[in-house]
Structure 1
């Protein structure tokens, strides 16, 4: 129920939102305890951070500005009731404290989402027609959707994640080695519907959607076949609908440290400043979206284009484009060989 090193989940209120994000990513939990000398002061979750950023907050802001200073907790004598109380209070974790409010352990209610209906039941479009050139030599033999991650290919991992939200209608846009993809799913025992849409020529990450004209009439998820988002799909879907977006981009925060001293110049070779190993944080497109069906109806047939071009097209038409941020750890992308190995390690545990 507790974890071995609870100090890994401690953070101080003077630390930044960026530091909290990094710590949440490193610990693979969605919560941190704001503590001083082990004494519980507040709690901060990944949801608190996301809401802060969506309100225009900065990564440099202090945790004290967004933490919950009225957290739920239980005393050691009640630790046997932790699961019952987490369900009652609709929380996924609960600090266990002594009489001095010093944190002794933390209880987690894994794989259980409290008080939320997880059903989304939206159709899913998977862009699965690319050559996968960044994954040679694997894709010389197999199409990208069939590259195995553990005992099943990446395409089945994607399907299984959506099935947890009662999404059972899948549309695969295929081109490269399409007969292998059809043959594989023809032999798989499945409790979902899958329809294949053949590109006669490469249409890019967006143009292939024109093959779905008249076939999708409701809000749908769109994903590349080489990414897996480990987030709450119901929360993403609800965010999209509540904000009246035409397209919602799921974006991941990336943190990069330049391993050199970066020099800024004025003129004539004169140095203005030198910054040792600067850090940069930015949002990056994951290739996972929620999309309204009207987007498909506005596409020209057989016109090759990227989905980012479609986003610009909709923006120019005055449509609302939203961004739902997730942590870097919640985005698995096998588009490159090193990332493929990371995905295997993450999913084979």
Structure 2
């Protein structure tokens, strides 16, 4: 990769910088003015800025680290990089002009995590968005590459030391159980059968008294390529009852947009503006006390459960991630995108 691909102007917006971070997949960009290094910006910097009240349309420099570490040669860059596990180290000359970026050219052992908290997966839906595939197979068993959707999800949590799975079933539940009974990976799974559809949240009532710690709660078609350790630390540090994992999505409005004032006066005109908004990924961190407030045998959406907790004065917060870290496998067009992302062309 050409190091200039990671260099941006501080005048571009946070949203535009996030798009650049997503495209390069390096999780960092360098703010450079007239060739000189001014700051660095990572996805973590953006997250902290937004959680502090910042806006996606603010200048990227406002969210950046204005005291970046830099080296003057390759050996110095290598030492810095490996000493503190940096993402990348810029190399600058005596005038602070960027001449290269060191990414680490030696294979490093990946960091290991041991979160060791339960993962609850809602796998009871009919998967109507994936029809006609789900007429034959339940949604959790629709393959992406050679691995079914739900197994991709489970493996993503296993990478962070989560091996205790609780799976809520309804539609074609015997097929799902049969698949895992013959699965060579021998997952640690507890099954919960709904007698009738209970929505995206009602099935949790089946777990009352089963869990005594915070747990991840996810839909079976939601794959997060994020740092679950960071999510859990955020949840605990803020004493949240529920933390919603939400992804920033950008959408270009295909029309000219007009802001109208009093008496029809045009206050602003924007041609095909790009809008940023937070989307619920269907992934949460939940405290076990929430289970006690869910009525048994009653269909309810998990967003309604969240709203009830908010009304009761509980801490409910959002942990924002890049839209590039969220893969929604619940739609047919997205399945191919996911296959390409996971396995390549």
Q: What TM bracket, shorter-length normalisation?
A: over 0.9
In the alignment, what sits opposite 1:39?
36
> Of 195, 201, 205, which residue of structure 2 is paired with 1:206?
201
Residue range with higher mean Cα deviation, 61-70 or 205-214? 61-70
- C-alpha contact (below 8 Å) 1:92/1:112 kept by paired residues: no
1:123 aligns with 2:135: no
> Of 102, 107, 125, which residue of structure 1 is paired with 2:102?
107
Give the 3 Å change call, closer, same or farther, for CA 16–112 of structure 1 in structure 2: farther
Distance 1:138 1:100 in 2: 60
In the alignment, what sits opposite 1:12?
9
With normalisation by structure 2, the TM-score equals 0.92
> Of 13, 18, 21, which residue of structure 1 is paired with 2:18?
21
Distance 1:221 1:327 in 2: 19
Give the 3 Å change call, closer, same or farther, for CA 343–290 of structure 1 in structure 2: same
Give the 3 Å change call, closer, same or farther, for CA 271–46 of structure 1 in structure 2: closer
Q: CA RMSD in A?
A: 2.2
Alignment of 1:275-290 (within 5 A): 275-290=270-285
In the alignment, what sits opposite 1:197?
192
Offset at 1:154? 1.4
In the alignment, what sits opposite 2:65?
68
Deviation track 1:211-267 (CA, whole Å, cap 9, x = no partner) reads 111111110000001111111100000100110110000000111111112345679
1:243 aligns with 2:200: no
Distance 1:346 1:310 in 2: 33
Give the 3 Å change call, closer, same or farther, for CA 33–200 of structure 1 in structure 2: same
In the alignment, what sits opposite 1:215?
210
In the alignment, what sits opposite 2:82?
87
Give the 3 Å change call, closer, same or farther, for CA 38–150 of structure 1 in structure 2: farther
In the alignment, what sits opposite 2:297?
302
1:53 aligns with 2:50: yes
In the alignment, what sits opposite 2:312?
317
Offset at 1:104? 3.4
Distance 1:98 1:31 in 2: 21
Name the SS of the counterpart of 1:210 in structure 2.
Answer: helix
1:327 aligns with 2:327: no
Unaligned runs of 5+ in 2: none
Distance 2:268 2:48 in 1: 35
Residue-pair matches, total: 342
Residue range with higher mean Cα deviation, 262-271 or 39-48? 262-271
Offset at 1:143? 0.9
Name the SS of the counterpart of 2:320 in structure 1.
Answer: strand
Offset at 1:69? 2.2
With normalisation by structure 1, the TM-score equals 0.91
Give the 3 Å change call, closer, same or farther, for CA 86–191 of structure 1 in structure 2: farther
> Of 182, 187, 195, which residue of structure 2 is paired with 1:187?
182
Distance 2:31 2:268 in 1: 36
Offset at 1:40? 2.0
In the alignment, what sits opposite 1:232?
227
1:178 aligns with 2:173: yes
Deviation track 1:260-302 (CA, whole Å, cap 9, x = no partner) reads 1234567998877643212211111000000000011111111
- C-alpha contact (below 8 Å) 1:86/1:92 kept by paired residues: yes
Distance 1:161 1:309 in 2: 27
Give the 3 Å change call, closer, same or farther, for CA 331–77 of structure 1 in structure 2: closer
- C-alpha contact (below 8 Å) 2:123/2:219 kept by paired residues: yes
Name the SS of the counterpart of 1:74 in structure 2.
Answer: coil
Distance 1:50 1:113 in 2: 23
Deviation track 1:38-71 (CA, whole Å, cap 9, x = no partner) reads 3322211111110000011112222222322221
Distance 1:111 1:133 in 2: 43
Distance 1:347 1:111 in 2: 21
Name the SS of the counterpart of 1:249 in structure 2.
Answer: strand
In the alignment, what sits opposite 2:130?
135
Give the 3 Å change call, closer, same or farther, for CA 56–271 of structure 1 in structure 2: closer
